Structure 1
């Protein structure tokens, strides 16, 4: 047995603030917070829809609150930011080859946004 003490590096609670890479990562991961609020609102909305017209109207009144609208706009912005960072990573994680040549990264990212636009248009047409 050795009498040597192992080196233990101190780690503060704000270790991530020292690097721009980690600050960006934490910002990206924090986008889940407004999305949690949005998900809870939708869940309660479905519950109110089942309960009847009075409960549904109460939920609609709640959703018309300016604070709720601001939080939903933040959720949308967080969702788009998260999607943009995910889409920009995709060509590095899963490089697509066609006839032995790598497909350009911009084409992959634009194709993903095109799929999002098509799905959005379909959903809006159904509503």
Structure 2
């Protein structure tokens, strides 16, 4: 047996702050927090819709609160950032070939954003 001590590298809590890639990754992962609140707000809205008109009106007044509006705007920005990073990674993860040729990544990313815009317009017309 040896009396040597093994090397244990010190790992600080802010290790991810030293590299831009990890900062961006942590920011992307943190976008889930406002999205959780947004989802909870919607779930309570559905519950109040079931309870009746008075509960629905109180939920609408709650949603008009400036803090709730700010949380919803942050959630929207976070989901758009999340979509941007996902759409950028998608061509690397799933390379699309048409007739043996690799499709350009810009075309794939633009096609995904076009699909988001198309679906958003359809939802706007339905609502």
TM class by smaller structure: over 0.9
User: CA RMSD for the aligned pairs?
Assistant: 1.0
Residue 125 (structure 1) aligns with:
125
Residue 87 (structure 1) aligns with:
87
- What's the TM-score once normalised by structure 1's chain length? 0.96
| In the alignment, structure 1 residue 112 sits paired with structure 2 residue 112 | yes
Runs of 4+ with >6 A deviation: none
Residue 70 (structure 1) aligns with:
70
Q: What residue ranges of structure 1 are gaps of 5+ in the alignment? A: none
Q: What residue ranges of structure 2 are gaps of 5+ in the alignment? A: none
Deviation digits for residues 11-47 of structure 1 (CA, Å, limit 9, x no counterpart): 0111111111111111111111110110000000000
Alignment of 1:1-127 (within 5 A): 1-127=1-127
The separation in 1 between residues aligned to 2:17 and 2:66, in whole angstroms, is 32
- What's the TM-score once normalised by structure 2's chain length? 0.96
- Aligned pairs, how many? 127
1:124 Cα offset (Å) = 1.5
